[in-house]
Structure 1
Amino acid sequence: MPIWPRPSMHCWPRPPDKACFPADFPYNSGTMLFLRSSLFHAGMITVVVVGSFVVVLCRPFLRFERRFVLASWFTRGVMWWLGVTCGLKHRFEGMENIPDGPVIFFAKHQSAWETFALQSYLPSFFWILKREVMWIPIFGWGIATLNPIAIDRSAGRAAVEQIVLQGTARLERGWRVMIFPEGTRIATGDTRRFGMGGAVLAQKSGCPVVPIAHDSGSFWVRRGFHKKAGTIRVVIGEPFCTTGLSPDDINAKAKTWIDTTTAALEQSEETPGS
């Protein structure tokens, strides 16, 4: 039996007819937006600090998948607090598309929201991330307990080789790997060329790619303080076989699906009246 929940949909916190606030509650008015966002940030920092220390202290006693689940408890706390304070809910679609074996997740990157959400609700995986994340005090210590593949993005070909070497080792052991192929957070409506690391890893390992699209940037703006109320939708696509495809073909296929799905989500956002 898997140690993670795999429902087809996650939605905070309760059915619409039992919401904490009336439908016309001014979630996104100027003053209210600032106050709610401030309250969320205070709670988020507290949870991240406490969670990081707990995971670090428990590292010697827990194998990887248990550390992953432990970290997920705290990230779920952040997701819950985001819903309570800011009225920002979430819905996952396509969870049934995640196979049981090793896969490579290609996820859209618009904000910090998806780092909490993907950690919270997807089955255990290894992050591929820039090494600077590991340098963040306290938070970086917690991330380090999850044994990520931390790369120097300025290293070019050496970074790709590191991804292939360490990623293949994890995939061969039956694990999953998560990468943001755009390499950085991209503003809503914008796109960016995919890096080659994930695609080369997929080609050489022969593992399928699972694309992930969402519209988080419309509610949690990159480098922004305010968190707008609404419902972030995450769509997990069907895995596609990478056998016989070049890295360029793999990137093109994943990018086409992610960009098309993200654009469709952004055109049908669920935002309460302000």
Structure 2
Amino acid sequence: MFRSVLHLLWMVVTVIPWTLAVLLVSLWPPRTRAWWTAVSWFRVVIWGTRKILGVQINVLGLSNLPVGQTSAAVLLSNHQSTLETLLLPTLMPHPLAFVFKRELLKVPFFGWSMARLDMIHINRESRTEAMKHIMAQGCRLLAQGTWVIMFPQGTRLPRGENGTYQTAGTRLAVQAGAPIVPIAVATARCWPKEVFTKQPGVVTVSIGAPIESAGRDPKALMREVEVWIEAELRRIDPEAYPAV
């Protein structure tokens, strides 16, 4: 509990000056400068996660990431914790655009920073409009070298739960002609959903080989992504999937 309180204070104290920095830097182009300023705060939080909480991070498959300044990619990951939203940007060589609900923009400081970044914020109440927005903004961002990251399950899930994988990410990849990079994260063992007390230990992030999307059916493509992620989760976090 003491570690968790100290870590929360670390995040609160550091987010204020970094938010001010992001707001200031975002006033001048290019907007990617604001992104990398935000990523520097993510790195500070991850440093605190390691040193204060005692959480060690094991990353597999970094060599699978596409190379090149203009290479496009749609990252599709399972979602267990807040940790991966802070960690994944620190691992990527390109700016990322998260797809997230518009309500997060109201969160003090953190949401204000996100509002100044080139992200895709959607209104979940209108699925049709949300999908059109994802397609339009996603294709624009991919064309300029920003990678789009989505959590196809839609929300954080406890360890061992599958959930339903939605096809918005694969539809975007097919329309934009961008490869999909599947990612499996086993972060809830140390940073569970809606639990304040964090646990020390080792979490694993596994990055899979890119999957080409050209000419693919989005539903079949998402099924392939789901099969890889779920199989990889059972490999990197077997304790969450006890044998029957």
TM range (shorter): over 0.9
The question of 1:121 aligning with 2:88 is answered no
Alignment partners' CA distance in 1, 2:106 and 2:225: 30
The reply on whether 1:53 has 2:20 as its aligned counterpart is yes
Match of 2:56 among 73, 85, 89: 89
Identify the match of residue 221 of structure 2 among 250, 258, 265.
Answer: 250
Q: CA deviation at 1:62?
A: 4.7
Distance, in Å, in 2 between the alignment partners of 1:160 and 1:217 is 29
Residue 107 (1) aligns with residue 77 (2):
yes
Structure-2 separation of matches of 1:174 and 1:79: 25
- In the alignment, which residue of structure 1 is the partner of 2:162? 191
Offset from partner CA, 1:57-97 (integer Å, 9 cap, x none): 22113522222211111111111111111111112111111
CA distance in 2, matches of 1:61, 1:173: 18
Give 1:164's aligned amino acid.
Answer: M
Contact 2:25 2:33 in 1 (8 A): no
On the 8 A contact 1:159/1:197 being kept in 2, the answer is no
Q: Name which of structure 1's ranges 183-192 and 64-73 shifts more when overlaid on structure 2.
A: 64-73
Matched, 1:98 2:65: yes
SS in 2 for 1:183: coil
Deviations 1:80-121 (A, max 9, x none): 111111111112111111113001000111110011101222
Correspondence for 2:103: 132
Aligned residues between the structures = 236
Whole-Å separation in 1 of the counterparts to 2:82 and 2:17: 18
Q: Say if 1:69 and 1:136 are closer, same or farther in 2 by CA, change over 3 A.
A: same
Counterpart of 1:8 in structure 2 is none
Q: Which runs of 4+ in 1 moved over 6 A?
A: none
Q: Which residue identity lines up with residue 89 of structure 2 in the other structure?
A: Q
Task: Compute the displacement of 1:268 (Å).
Answer: 6.3
Structure with bigger gyration radius: 1
State the shift of 1:174 in Å.
Answer: 2.7
Task: Using structure 2 for the length normalisation, give the TM-score.
Answer: 0.92
Amino acid at match of 1:98: L
Give the one of 206, 213, 216 matched to 2:177: 206
Letter in 2 for 1:223: E
Unaligned stretches of 5+ in structure 1?
1-33, 270-274
CA offset digits 1:179-235 (Å, max 9, x no partner)? 111111111110111122212111111110001111101110011111111111111
TM alignment of 1:43-82, pairs within 5 A: 43-82=10-49
Query: Counterpart of 1:109 in structure 2: which amino acid?
Result: H
Matching of residue 224 in structure 1 with residue 191 in structure 2: no
Cα distance in structure 2, aligned partners of 1:268 and 1:63 = 45
Whole-Å separation in 2 of the counterparts to 1:139 and 1:125: 16
Taking only aligned residues, the RMSD between alpha carbons, in angstroms, comes to 1.4
- Percent pairwise identity: 29
